[in-house]
Chains A and B, each alone.
Chain A
Amino acid sequence: MRQIVVISGKGGTGKTSVTAALAAVARESAAPAGGARAGGTHPPALVLADCDVDASDLHLLLAPVVRERHDFHSGVLARIDAALCTRCGSCTAACRYGALDAPPRVAREMCEGCGACAHLCPEGAVALDERHCGEWYVSDTRFGPMVHAALGIGEENSGKLVSTVRTLAREIAEALGADTVLVDGSPGVGCPVIASLAGADTALLVTEPTVSALHDLERVHALTLHFGVRAAVLLNKADIHVGMARRIEAFCAEHALPLLGSLPHSPVFMGAQFAGLSVPEFAPHAEGALFREVWNSLRAMTPTATGD
C-alpha cells in the first residue's frame, strides 16, 4: 500500500483541489466502465484522508455521506475549583503557557495540559479533565471512503488528530484492499504537517509561481528531506508569472525534484469549486487530462511494494 500526501508549505496553492482531482482520476482508472460507484463490487482505488483538520475543505468537493462519527479526546485540561482556590499564584508562576494568569480562570486555548499546576497547587484545587478536542468521521464519497475531522474551535492537538485520521484511513485501505491512501495536508511545516508527512511514501508539493510559494517550497522540501519522504512538485497557476515559473522549474531541476506537471491559472478550478465538483469532473478533457498524467507519474514513482 502507498501513502501519498499533498502538501504545499504556502496555503492557497490548490492542495485540496489537486487532492480531489487525483481522487477523481484514480477512480476513473480503477473503474473504467464507469458502472461501479463507491460501494460497488470493485475495491476502491484509494482511501482519502483530509488531514487539514483545522480548516478542512475537501468535503466541500466530495459531499461525503458520514457513516461514523467519533469524538476526539486528547490530553487534559486544567480546571480550578474556585471555592478552594486562594489566589496564591503558585500555578500562575508555574504555567509556561500563560493559561493561568487569572486563576481560578483557565484560558482553555492556552492550556497544554501538562499538569504542572495540579502538581503545585497547595490547596488541591486543580483538576485535570479529559479534553474533547473535536470529532472525526468515516464517510463514503463517490471516489471511495474518506476519513476526515473537525478540530474544535480554539482546540489544540491537531497533530494527534491528524495521526488519528491517517491511521484510520490506512486501516480502512488495508481492510478494503485499496492500494493507496491519498492525504490532503495542511499549510506550513509545523505540527500538523509533520504528523501528515511522517511515514508517507511520497509527498506531492503543490506550488505556484510566486516568491512566497518558492520560499515555502524550499522549506517544505527541506522537511521532506528531514523525514526521508520522496517528493515531487506540481506547479499550479503556472502562467501567473512566467519568470517565477522558470525559477520554480530551476529549483526543481537543481534539487532533482520531479516536476510532474504545470497547470494553468484557469477559471475551471474556481468553477469546479462552486459546482462542488472535482476538476476532472468539471473539465474532463483539458485539465482532466493533465491530472491523469500527474496521477500516473505519482503511481509510477510510488510502487506499492515499497509500502511497509
Chain B
Amino acid sequence: MKLAIASGKGGTGKTTVAVNLAALLAARGHHVALADCDVEEPNAHLFLPVEWKTREQCTLPVPRVNEALCLGAACRRCVDACRFKALAFMGDAVLDFPDLCHGCGLCALVCPTGALTYATRLVGEVRGGIARIRPAMGTNADRPDTAERDLVHTEAAPVLRFRDGVLRIGEAMATPLIKAVKDVPPPTMPQPGPVAQGEGVQGPCAFVIRDCPPGVACAAINAVHDADLLLLVAEPSPFGLHDLRLAVGLARHLRLPHAVVLNRAGMGVGMGSGLGCSGATPSATAAGGTPAGDPVRAWTEREGVPLLGVIPFSRAAAECGATGSLVHDAAPEVRAAYAALADALEKMAGNAAGPRRPWDGMGLSGLAGLATPGTAPRVADESGATTGGKERTCAR
C-alpha cells in the first residue's frame, strides 16, 4: 500500500505523522519503507536512527555545445526550440545556461549536426538506509538515548527501509529528485521475530509511506500522484482549513483516494467564538471557519471527506517532536490516536484483494464509513472522489 502523507500548508505535522506511523507499523511487524519526498527540506531522518547504506547523485542531463560541429548563426534551431531560455545565441556562438535547463532533450533532437551533447547538472543526493525499530514500541519511553541503545544493536528488531533526497542548495527543480526517491521497495525479508500482532491483523502487509512536500504545485504532485491513499494532515486553524481545501482540491483533481488526519486537535478550540470578537469579524467565517472551535472537523463532515485520524494537541508531544524523538509515548492520548490510525490502515491494507491495490472495489464511500463510525457514512460523489478513474500516468 502506497501511502502519501501530504498537506497544503507547511508545518501541520506531515513528517511527525509519517515517522511515527512508519515506526508503529514496523513495530507491529509490517514491511515498511519510508520515503522522505520533501527533498527541499528533508527532516524525517532526524527522527529515526537511520543507518545509511547508499548515497547516489541525482543529475539532470543538460546541453553542452560542441562548437566544432555547431553551424552557428546559419542554424539556431536549438535556440529557437528551447522553451526555457537555456540556450541563447550571442555573438557568434550558442551559449548554454545549464541552470535554466529543464532537461527535456529537445535541443539535441532538433540539432542537425549532433553538436549538442550532454553534460550533467547535480540536482541533489539520494540517500538510502535502514532504521531498526524497537519491537516493544508503544510500551516504553521513546527517548532518543534509549532508542539509540535499544534499536541499533538489536538484530531481531523490525527494520524500516528508509530513503530520502537532499536538494542541492540553489537548485530550483525538485521533481527529478522526488521521482528518484519516492518508490522505495519495502523490506523483503520477513521478520518473524518478536512481532506484536494486534487483534484482527491478517499477517504482515507492505507499506510504502511517503512524506511529501507542502503545497499543491509540481513538487507535491510528483510526490503524491500514484499513491493508493493520500493522507492529508491538517491543523485546526483558519490557515489549516484554507490549505486543506486546496489539498483536497488537488486530490480530487488527481482522482486520488484521500482522507484527513487532524493533527493538534483541540489546539484552537474556543478561539473562534471565545477570543476572537466573533460578531465583528466576518472575515473569519468568510475564510471558511465556523464560529465553533474546530473549523477543519466541521468542514470535513460537510464535504464528506473521511476523517481517518484525530491526533490531539499535546504540549508534551510537541516537546518530543522538537528534539527529534518519536511522540508515541509523550502522552497516552497521542499514543492511542496513532494506534487507531494504524489500525485503520492495517484494515485497509489487509482487505486488499491483490498485493498492490488495496483500493480496488473499495472506493471512498467504504472509507468514509470506516472513518466516521457512529454517523451515517456519507457517499462522496463529487467527481474524482472515487477510485474508478484513477490515473496511472507516470513512468515511474
Give the B-binding residues of A (Cβ under 8 A): 9-13, 16, 53-55, 57, 60, 63, 75-76, 94, 96-99, 101-102, 105, 107, 109-110, 112-116, 119-120, 151, 153-156, 158-159, 186-194, 209-212, 215-216, 219, 222-223, 226-227, 240-241, 243-244, 267, 270-271, 273-277
Contact = CB atoms under 8 A, between A and B. Distances in A.
A189 B169 contact: yes
A55 B8 contact: yes
Contacts of B284: 274-276
Contact of A275 (B170, B243, B281, B324): B281
Contacts of B358: none
A153 B221 CA distance: 10
B9 A11 contact: yes
Given A107-B391, A223-B169, 17 more contacts: A9-B41, A54-B8, A97-B104, A112-B102, A114-B106, A151-B217, A187-B213, A189-B40, A190-B167, A211-B323, A223-B170, A240-B319, A267-B275, A270-B271, A273-B239, A273-B268, A274-B271
A219 B237 CA distance: 28
A306 to B, nearest CB: 23
B179, B217, B218, B283 — most chain A CB neighbours (10 Å)? B217
Interface stretch (B65-73, B245-253, B301-309, B329-337): B245-253
Contacts of B281: 275-277
28 contacts: A57-B238, A60-B283, A96-B103, A98-B395, A101-B393, A101-B394, A105-B393, A107-B391, A114-B102, A114-B105, A114-B106, A153-B249, A153-B253, A154-B221, A154-B253, A155-B217, A187-B213, A189-B40, A190-B172, A192-B217, A209-B322, A211-B323, A212-B321, A215-B43, A219-B40, A223-B170, A241-B322, A244-B322
B10 A11 contact: yes
B268 A274 contact: yes
B83 A76 contact: yes
A276 B43 contact: no
B287 interface: yes
Contacts of A215: 41, 43, 46
B4 to A, nearest CB: 14
A9 B254 CA distance: 27
Interface string B262-273: 000001100110
A107 B394 contact: yes
Contacts of A119: 81, 106, 109-110
B318 interface: yes
Nearest to B293: A274
Interface in B150-204: 167, 169-175, 179
B11 interface: yes
B214 A55 contact: yes
B104 A96 contact: yes
B121 to A, nearest CB: 14
A271 B275 contact: yes
Contact of B323 (A156, A243, A271): A243
Contacts of A241: 319, 322-323
A188 B250 contact: no
A190 B322 contact: no
Contacts of A209: 322
A55 B9 contact: yes
B366 to A, nearest CB: 25
A9 B12 CA distance: 14
Interface of B: 8-12, 15, 38, 40-41, 43, 46-47, 81, 83-84, 102-106, 109-110, 167, 169-175, 179, 213-222, 225, 235, 237-239, 242-243, 246, 249-250, 253-254, 267-268, 271-272, 275-277, 281, 283-284, 286-287, 289, 318-319, 321-324, 391-396
B215 A55 contact: yes
Contacts of A219: 40-41, 169
B11 A13 contact: yes
Contacts of A98: 179, 393-396
B83 A114 contact: yes
Contacts of B324: 210-212
A96 B62 CA distance: 13
Contacts of A120: 109
Contacts of A271: 271, 275-276
Contacts of B12: 11-12
A55 B246 contact: yes
Contacts of B110: 119
A273 B41 contact: no
B43 A116 contact: no
B105 A212 contact: no
B271 A267 contact: yes
A10 B11 CA distance: 7
B73 to A, nearest CB: 21
Given A10-B41, A11-B10, A244 B323 contact: yes
B102 A60 contact: no
B271 A60 contact: no
A116 B105 contact: yes
A55 B214 CA distance: 9
Contacts of B289: 274
A217 to B, nearest CB: 10
Contact of B40 (A16, A76, A188, A276): A188
Closest 6 CB pairs of A and B: A11-B10, A12-B11, A114-B104, A276-B283, A188-B40, A275-B276
A186 B215 contact: yes
B358 to A, nearest CB: 23
Contact of A273 (B8, B46, B170, B238): B238
Nearest to A106: B393
B43, B167, B179, B321 — most chain A CB neighbours (10 Å)? B43
Contacts of B83: 75-76, 113-115
Contacts of B286: 63, 276
Contact of A54 (B215, B242, B254, B271): B215
A241 to B, nearest CB: 4
B167 A57 contact: no
Contacts of A12: 9-12, 235
A31 B15 CA distance: 43
